Structure 1
Amino acid sequence: MTHARISVSVDAAADPDRVFAVLTDWTRHDEWMVLTRAHVTAGDGRGAGSRLAAFTGVGPVGFLDIMEITGWDPPTTVAVRHTGRLVRGTGEFRVLPRGSGSTITWEEDLDLPFGSIGRLGWLLARPVGTALLRFSLRRLARLCGR
């Protein structure tokens, strides 16, 4: 299995407590995460063991990303394990203090599907995926500043 990694960071004017609160309000993901709606499917969404589902797509066309929270350390870190059919691997958000604001980092370490075709596709998808993650984090930073 081939792994693919994406890591992006942006600065936010809001303090880590505010950023972490908005970041982990799963029902608000559609306000900042591009083309994604998330909800809690098991647990309260506030600790390890809770399960989440996020639909990413346009209208009915897309995929369901099933996740389990594996790390919870407010207001610094939330980590997940992706266990869905298409998206598998791990993800982590870190919120670190920076002056009067924060730096938000989003990292994904994904298992690429489809063997060599998946590796080839990743060469094309990585720049797009990185841009979408960065765009989403910038939207989160703006949302937290309101």
Structure 2
Amino acid sequence: MPELVLPVHVEAPPEQVWAALTDWRGQGRWMPATDVEVVTAAEEGVGVRLAARTGLPLPWRRGRHLGVLDTMVVTEWDPPRRVVVQHTGRIVRGPGIFELTPAGGGTDLVLTERWYPPFGLLGRVGWPLARPFVVVGFRVALRRFARFARTYAG
């Protein structure tokens, strides 16, 4: 199973970073080309279901993207230390783990993503080619998140 482990330091206390991280609808403000919808009545805790659409927006179809639908469910919830979302889509599958640790006047956030590659053998063989692009995308997102969380006010 491919795994990415990417850290970022956020100049904000863990409670503020947690609030920014678990503002699911706000994720599109730091995750490139992504809109997130909460599809359950609850927005916090284990069992929350999310639908993220990542890709190019279609101007003539408001809220629609040419890209990937990433469905998720929160499987672990330990504020303000750890949240795990299980990606349950057809393309993106596996756990996404966010871990927060107080550090140096702020918070260290580590994102771990583990995937079950789609498309069988083709996905497993293609992962080494796709990995550098995925890493760059997540690094951009985490830098944007650090700026977003530093000024997050809810």
Which bin holds the TM-score, normalised by the shorter protein? over 0.9
Q: 2:149 corresponds to which residue? A: 144
Alpha-carbon distance in structure 1 between the residues aligned to 2:101 and 2:46: 20
**Matched residue type, 2:6:** V
Q: 1:21 corresponds to which residue? A: 19
Would you say the 8 A contact 2:90–2:118 is kept in 1? no
TM-score (normalizing by structure 2):
0.89
Alpha-carbon distance in structure 1 between the residues aligned to 2:130 and 2:138: 12
Deviation of 1:128 after TM superposition, in Å, equals 1.0
**Matched residue type, 1:111:** Y
Mapping for residues 33-72 of structure 1, pairs under 5 Å: 33-59=31-57, 60-72=65-77
| SS of corresponding position for 1:44 | coil
Alpha-carbon distance in structure 1 between the residues aligned to 2:89 and 2:116: 11
Percent identity (aligned)? 43
- Which among 101, 109, 123 is matched to residue 104 of structure 1? 109
- Which among 8, 11, 17 is matched to residue 9 of structure 2? 11
Where in structure 1 are there 5+ consecutive unaligned residues? none
Q: 2:95 corresponds to which residue? A: 90
RMSD over aligned Cα atoms: 1.0
TM-score (normalizing by structure 1):
0.94
Q: 2:126 corresponds to which residue? A: 121
Alpha-carbon distance in structure 2 between the residues aligned to 1:119 and 1:84: 17
Q: 1:131 corresponds to which residue? A: 136
Moved runs in structure 1, 4+ residues, more than 6 A?
none
**Matched residue type, 1:97:** P
**Matched residue type, 2:79:** P
Alpha-carbon distance in structure 2 between the residues aligned to 1:20 and 1:28: 12
**Greater strand fraction, Structure 1 or Structure 2:** 1
| SS of corresponding position for 2:46 | coil
| SS of corresponding position for 2:2 | strand
Alpha-carbon distance in structure 1 between the residues aligned to 2:120 and 2:37: 30
**Matched residue type, 2:100:** V
Cα deviation digits, residues 57-116 of structure 1 (max 9, x gap): 111211110111000011111101111111111111111110210111111111001122
Alpha-carbon distance in structure 2 between the residues aligned to 1:20 and 1:125: 30
Would you say the 8 A contact 1:43–1:51 is kept in 2? no
Alpha-carbon distance in structure 1 between the residues aligned to 2:120 and 2:24: 32
Alpha-carbon spacing, 1:41–1:58, altered in 2? closer, same or farther (3 Å)? same
